[in-house]
Amino acid sequence: MEVAAGRCRRLMVFMPPRHGKSVFISQYFPAWFLGSFPDKHVLLCSYEATFAANWGRKAREAFLEASDAGLFRLKLKPEKQAASEWEIARHGGGMITAGVGGAITGRGGDVLILDDPVKNAEEAQSLTYRERSWDWYLSTFLTRAEPGASIVIIQTRWHHDDISGRILAGAQGNGEHWEVISFPALAEEADPLGRALGEALWPARYPAPKLEAIKHQIGSYWWAALYQQRPSPREGGMFKRHWFEVVDALPANPQAWVRFWDKAATQGGGDWTVGVKMCRASGTYYVADVVRVQESSGAVKALIVNTAKRDGRILVAMEQEPGSSGKDVIAEYTKALAGYAFRGVPSTGSKEVRADPLASQAEGGNLKLLRGPWNQAFIEELCAFPTGENDDQVDAASGAFGCLANPADPWAEYLLEQLEPQDETVRQDSP
């Protein structure tokens, strides 16, 4: 009501997934607003044009149903009834939808709604996407605002550096005051609704035990961002120090083994060449060894070959960089590792997206470390991720876990059925 009256010019609403924020704000509010002010315009944008048009369609249907029920006597222009652009007959108002990053044609808006500008985790973790969407917000979205227009941003928070985060951090630089409504799924201290600590936001739909189960399933990193609207967990990054149990020996008969390599591009640079040896036993994953060096290309190749000889008959895998150069590197190592089970694994998605399944297992107590001199550096790097100086051990561990955890992968099937280490008595003093 404050937005419609022009008293609230800038509003942000943060709520968990599937809690009705878009139904209320992107469907029913535009229908009511245009029925009340048929000469006004609503512009709605979302992460892609088809998704935005879906809300345009729902708002249009709500508008027509309300008109048929006698709430207001208005019709649509016969020639302007598309989901992405519809107008009110004998008036100048209507609704236009578009996707983030796309062009916005036609008239501007008296109310501009930005509904979920981020599609998924990969987009959220991509600096390139965040920069592109921010440029679009400044150069395209804001320029569609009519004089005195109101802007409403509604979203589930994926990242602290998203559009809302940048606005609240003062990146826009114009001193605008934004009203912020933020409802966590489970109430925390000083809850804006006055809920008791731990009380669910919508208990009839998502009771507290169900939300706790979701938290356990997705891990604290995404829980804090998506459900509590705190993109950075209070206790740190994706991995927590207390998640890692160090053991003195591995199970007697691990079901599968892999050594995964993340190869640095240059000698002596900031990146490391890392090889993580991991096994799986009864649903638990054990990091048995980590090799980590900054060496020349020739020395790295010799290290990888010698490590394969030492490891025995286990799968050797390596991250394959995009493009022809990545294919050439894999072809080179295929020859060097003749006689061993070797595969190149194409890298897809951001580092954070690739590390998320491993973090979930670590939080659940299903990732353990064999005691060794590499333990401290390994734990430190994972706990600093994704804001730490290095992430090579994270990449290698994520790759090893991916090879072992995906039964649909033919390499993993081959690994499970055919390969085992030559020496199964792996102990604390093993290399």
Q: Are 263 and 307 in contact (CB under 8 A)?
A: no
Both 159 and 53 in one domain: the answer is: yes
CA neighbor of 420 nearest in space, from 334, 276, 317, 315: 315
pLDDT tens digit sequence for 355-364:
999 999 999 9
Q: How far is CA 340 from CA 28, 34, 260, 303, 413, in A?
A: 62, 68, 13, 15, 16
The mean of the pLDDT values for the chain is 88
Domain of residue 169: give its range: 10-182
What pLDDT is attached to residue 170?
A: 79
Both 160 and 252 in one domain: the answer is: no
What element of type H or E holds 356? helix 351-363
Domain membership flag for residue 216: no
Domain membership flag for residue 173: yes
Per the model's pLDDT, the better-predicted residue between 391 and 203 turns out to be 203
Both 175 and 247 in one domain: the answer is: no
3-class secondary structure, 186:
strand
With a pLDDT cut of 90, the percent of the chain lying above it is 66
What pLDDT is attached to residue 429?
A: 41
pLDDT tens digit sequence for 297-308:
899 999 999 999
Among 164, 182, 200, the domain-final residue is: 182
Domain membership flag for residue 233: no
Both 170 and 280 in one domain: the answer is: no
Q: For 99-107, what is the mean pLDDT?
A: 83
What pLDDT is attached to residue 411?
A: 54
What pLDDT is attached to residue 416?
A: 52
Whole-angstrom Cα distance, residue 129 to residue 163?
A: 11
pTM beyond cutoff 0.85: no
Both 138 and 281 in one domain: the answer is: no
Both 131 and 56 in one domain: the answer is: yes
pLDDT tens digit sequence for 30-80:
999 999 999 999 999 999 999 999 999 999 999 999 999 999 999 999 999
pLDDT tens digit sequence for 227-286:
999 886 545 578 988 899 999 999 988 888 999 999 986 555 557 999 999 999 999 999
Label residue 410 by pLDDT band (50, 70, 90). Answer: low
Question: How many domains does the chain fold into?
Answer: 2
Domain membership flag for residue 197: no
Place of tokens 């430190």: 380
Q: For 174-192, what is the mean pLDDT?
A: 88
Among 182, 216, 231, the domain-final residue is: 182
Q: Is the pLDDT of residue 7 over 50?
A: yes
Q: For 407-430, what is the mean pLDDT?
A: 48
Q: Are 125 and 159 in contact (CB under 8 A)?
A: yes
Among 137, 160, 182, the domain-final residue is: 182
What pLDDT is attached to residue 422?
A: 45
Both 145 and 269 in one domain: the answer is: no
Q: Is the pLDDT of residue 409 over 60?
A: no
Q: For 284-302, what is the mean pLDDT?
A: 94
Torsion sign across C-alpha atoms 200, 206, 210, 212? negative
Q: Is 233 left (phi over 0), alpha (psi -120 to 50) or beta?
A: beta
Domain membership flag for residue 81: yes
Domain membership flag for residue 41: yes
Report the CATH number at residue 297: 3.30.420.240
Report the CATH number at residue 153: 3.40.50.300
Q: Is there a cis peptide before residue 117, judged by omega within 30 degrees of 0?
A: no
What pLDDT is attached to residue 190?
A: 86
Both 273 and 143 in one domain: the answer is: no
Q: How far is CA 64 from CA 37, 81, 110, 401, in A?
A: 15, 11, 21, 53
Comparing 13-17, 80-84, 131-135, 413-417, the range with the smallest average pLDDT is 413-417
**CA 306 to chain CA centroid, nearest Å:** 37
Residue type, 123: E
Domain membership flag for residue 209: no
Torsion sign across C-alpha atoms 130, 135, 138, 144? negative
Both 257 and 171 in one domain: the answer is: no
Domain membership flag for residue 426: no
Both 110 and 15 in one domain: the answer is: yes
Per the model's pLDDT, the better-predicted residue between 21 and 174 turns out to be 21
Both 105 and 20 in one domain: the answer is: yes
What pLDDT is attached to residue 301?
A: 95
Both 170 and 308 in one domain: the answer is: no
Whole-angstrom Cα distance, residue 277 to residue 314?
A: 9
